Homo-oligomer: A and B are copies of this chain.
Amino acid sequence: MHVRDTQESGTRARTRQAIIDAAIEVLGQNPTASLGEIAVAANVGRTTLHRYFPERSDLLKALSAEGMSRLDRAADNARLDEGTGADALRRLCHEYFELGSLLSLIFSEPQLIDDADWSEQGACDPRLRTLVERGHRDGTIDPELPATWVQSVLWSQLYAGWSYLADTHISRYEALRLVARTLGGAIAPKG
A71 to chain B, nearest CB (A): 18
| Stretch of A50-58, A130-138, A177-185 that contacts chain B | A177-185
Q: Which of A142, A157, A169 has the most CB of B within 10 A?
A: A157
Interface residue? A153 (CB, 8 A)? yes
- Closest residue on chain B to residue A148 by CB atoms: B168
From known contacts A185-B188, A185-B190, A186-B186, infer whether A149 and B178 are also in contact, taking CB-CB under 8 Å. yes
* A interface bracket (residues with beta carbon within 8 Å of B): 20 to 34
Main SS class of interface, A:
helix
Residues of chain B with a CB closer than 8 A to A168's CB:
121-122, 148
**CA–CA, A123 to B145, complex, Å?**
31
From known contacts A142-B185, A185-B142, A186-B183, infer whether A149 and B169 are also in contact, taking CB-CB under 8 Å. no
Interface residue? A160 (CB, 8 A)? yes
Residues of chain B with a CB closer than 8 A to A123's CB:
167
**CA–CA, A185 to B183, complex, Å?**
8
Say whether A181 contacts B121, CB under 8 Å: no
Which among B32, B142, B156 is the interface contact of A160 at CB below 8 angstroms?
B156
- Closest residue on chain B to residue A32 by CB atoms: B32
Q: How many identical chains are in the complex?
A: 2
A106-120 at interface with B (beta carbon < 8 Å): 108
Given contacts A149-B164, A156-B156, A156-B160, 19 further A-B contacts (CB under 8 A): A32-B32, A108-B108, A121-B169, A122-B167, A122-B168, A123-B167, A144-B181, A152-B161, A152-B164, A153-B157, A153-B160, A153-B182, A181-B190, A182-B187, A183-B186, A184-B190, A185-B186, A185-B187, A185-B188
CB<8 Å pairs between A and B, sample of 13:
A121-B167, A121-B168, A122-B167, A144-B181, A148-B168, A149-B164, A149-B182, A153-B160, A153-B182, A156-B159, A156-B160, A181-B190, A186-B186
